[in-house]
Structure 1
């Protein structure tokens, strides 16, 4: 076994007096601050020769910090060849066009067959430890039954850069996320912004709910009606752009406005009877869809190493195309 990598940081007279994790992150920009905090807590950092496990410990001019990187630990999930659809890949990141039904990372009840399992098989040991062994390289996620684009980091520098962009929600950079959804009814006005805080439902912990201002976390969705595939205006094709990225945000916001997604059993169950008003072919296509009609169609961001703006688009997947076609054939 090789010797663990040793990194030494000598803080000069110009150094700030600040937290240990901040000083390390400033000196070692290739390692994310969250990982540095984990390394400190695990006893891999010494200040002036003495071990410390406190990321908040104050350090300043004259201190010498030693970091011994542990040997890479294999990610717990096993490698599985899943035939991932890759939209883009380089040494720093990989963009996946995720199919509906694929869970992003292992969780109770989904220990295998996840995107992480497929990524480990495709990328090998390069993902180990980045973002944690259960979620290596994962920067953001899509619900199991939402299809479309997501980006995964392949090293710490990329993980840190991409995470910062997603935390900033595109306010100061080129991050873009857009989705296509099929909703019950046509939202009015046909273009607008939904600004409503979200939090876990007090009645059902598995659901997200709109809460009063001052509670939960702020969530902002910009939407625009692209078309109404059917003659009666029962269904709309809506393009949604996220300004924030909360759990189930689009699904909850549109349901809150009275326009839940087709196929959404969690937030649109009360609209099941509307399916009876669709034509036979459209009802069959909706049944075949078997999920919420939501697709991550656009993803743009700055490359964490080069700064180049990357932008990817994914067309509607076959199951949503079939549903739109069935609705249009009745028009």
Structure 2
């Protein structure tokens, strides 16, 4: 958005200044615009002279950033940081009151510094102490070569997840209705009310807020509903160097098939491009056929598959 404001008065005459960026706040107390570079600009509403929307950032076409599956898994971990982390050799134990498997699993990349049977015993004990199931994030190659065999011996159950990637520039050009999407640095109560992964447990909700707001550069998008009603659609994007991770793309059932999901992704992609990202990635459960079909249409392809292995209780 482009806004013009009175920045000062010289000889009782107003001096105007323009700011172009994302309008992240506007209430009775004032406005905040986050420009492409520099610090956010905040000022009282009484100093606002004019404002208008501007086209999405014209992202340049660029190939996908170079990254191995291990590097992408580590990037994904930074973009969805657990409330509690503890090292076990090169592994990372993660816990967040049970909010999502990604934030409540051990990222088993590299050497745990112990023989695998002892390492997995330590994993089970660590999660049992927190009242959580013990999940192991398994990536081949990336995890120890004989980890899968040891998990099989223990009777682990597996759930596959796809990591899908796409050039970012193409996403900024998808669909329409971009002017309906609003961006913010925080997920407010309305945004959270649409997010389906949070239940009524206050501990889980607090953990969810910490995880959702964690990451190098996080943006939340929503399409407003009718006055007094929750948003029609929401989304989240976290930018980490050349990569932008998309998640929490959700549309209210009565508002589906109207292009809102693609509008949310396009606006988030444009913001990520402004911060220098050139690649997009997301994680989707392998059995989620509807989401996979949507991402196919948007140009995403599968980079790799990893598994969450659920260990039986000791």
Fold agreement, TM-score > 0.5:
no
TM-score by length of 1: 0.23
TM-score by length of 2: 0.23
Higher strand share: 2
Higher relative contact order (CA 8 A, sep 6+): 2
